[in-house]
């Protein structure tokens, strides 16, 4: 049996555009602490639960998926690159999840955006030898999985990896409160130019939609792994914290995979210029 660590963190393209690090200083301090904790843990395998912004999954959006081969889209400071996915292990995971009655999709050659690229570049050493298994979770194209189902899915992933003798880092990426203009409608055929124009036009309104009270309550529930409260808040995320808050489903999946132990916040900061309530939390388990 191996050991595990859980990391939950917000992502925001604006963070990478702020090349001088002038904004989100409290959050960046938390990122530095999390990066140090990850380096100390030295993961051999990263299981990354991430959302999709209707790029990889525009016409067809699986509720849950496992990538057997994958790459990162070039975006901001993130270069295009192939991910080091252990395809055979990912295939075994997919079979185990279907046997556990999760009707997942299997992805090959899928190109993933900053939801996956940012956590890999922000929290792992550049020279990491860790293998990566991306697990896309639909957080953008309703109908979405319920919070209870998402936790059960994460728990099933964790049960599979309980038999893998490696140091395993589970990452959940997205949230907290935010409402990206490009996701506030149901269009799935936007060009990148249309997407950027929509975000620019709705930026000022989106910057005022951060909900710090909601974010701090969610982080508090995460710090106690109060499953009932996490479920209640996640199932009402759209109404209470914006369409982007649905991405906390990835946090629930990662936390459940890591054993459902408390995941302690390292930092929280609402950053209007990034239109997002930014949080980062970590936990370790035996």
| Number of domains observed in the structure of the chain | 1
Query: What tokens appear for 234 in the block?
Result: 């996640």
How many beta carbons lie within 10 A of that of residue 220, not counting itself? 12
Q: Per residue in 194-230, pLDDT tens?
A: 878 887 887 888 889 999 999 999 999 999 999 999 9
Question: What single DSSP character describes residue 63?
Answer: S
- Whether the predicted pLDDT of 276 surpasses 90: yes
| Phi, psi for 67 (deg, rounded to 5) | -90, 125
| Torsion angle of the four alpha carbons 28, 29, 30, 32, in this order, in degrees rounded to the nearest 10 | 90
The band of 286, judged by pLDDT with boundaries at 50, 70 and 90, is low
Active site residue: 11, 53, 114, 122, which one? Answer: 114
Q: Per residue in 220-231, pLDDT tens?
A: 999 999 999 999
- Whether the predicted pLDDT of 3 surpasses 90: yes
| Phi, psi for 192 (deg, rounded to 5) | -65, -35
Q: Per residue in 105-117, pLDDT tens?
A: 999 999 999 999 9
Instruction: Please answer whether residues 285 and 6 qualify as being in contact, where contact means their C-beta atoms are separated by less than 8 angstroms.
Output: yes
Is 188 annotated in the active site? Answer: no
How many beta carbons lie within 10 A of that of residue 143, not counting itself? 8
CATH of the domain at 274: 3.40.830.10
Active site residue: 11, 53, 122, 178, which one? Answer: 178
Query: What tokens appear for 235 in the block?
Result: 């199932």
Question: What single DSSP character describes residue 80?
Answer: P
Predicted structure pTM score: 0.96
Kindly report whether the peptide bond that precedes residue 267 is cis, defined as omega within 30 degrees of 0.
Answer: no
Is 95 annotated in the active site? Answer: no
- Full residue range of the structural domain in which residue 163 is found: 3-285
- Whether the predicted pLDDT of 28 surpasses 70: yes
């Amino acid at each position: 049996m191996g050991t595990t660590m859980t990391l939950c963190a917000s992502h925001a393209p604006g963070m990478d555009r702020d090349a001088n690090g002038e904004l989100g200083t409290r959050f960046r301090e938390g990122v530095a602490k999390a990066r140090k904790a990850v380096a100390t843990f030295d993961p051999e395998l990263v299981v990354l639960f991430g959302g999709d912004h209707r790029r990889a999954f525009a016409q067809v959006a699986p509720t849950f998926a496992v990538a057997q081969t994958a790459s990162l889209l070039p975006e901001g400071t993130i270069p295009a690159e192939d991910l080091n996915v252990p395809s055979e292990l990912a295939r075994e995971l997919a079979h185990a999840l279907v046997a556990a009655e999760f009707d997942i999709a299997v992805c090959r050659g899928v190109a993933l955006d900053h939801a996956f690229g940012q956590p890999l570049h922000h929290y792992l050493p550049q020279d990491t030898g860790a293998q990566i298994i991306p697990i896309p979770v639909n957080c953008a194209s309703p109908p979405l999985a319920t919070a209870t189902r998402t936790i059960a899915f994460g728990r099933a992933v964790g049960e599979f990896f309980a038999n893998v003798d490696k140091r395993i880092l589970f990452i959940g990426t997205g949230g907290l409160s935010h409402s990206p203009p490009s996701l506030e409608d149901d269009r799935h055929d936007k060009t990148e130019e249309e997407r950027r124009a929509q975000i620019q036009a709705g930026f000022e309104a989106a910057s005022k939609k951060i909900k710090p009270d909601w974010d701090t309550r969610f982080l508090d529930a995460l710090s106690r792994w109060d499953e009932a409260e996490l479920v209640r808040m996640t199932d009402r995320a759209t109404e209470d914290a914006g369409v982007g808050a649905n991405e906390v489903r990835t946090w629930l999946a990662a936390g459940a995979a890591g054993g459902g132990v408390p995941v302690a916040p390292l930092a929280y900061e609402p950053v209007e210029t990034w239109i997002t309530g930014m949080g980062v939390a970590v936990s370790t388990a035996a």
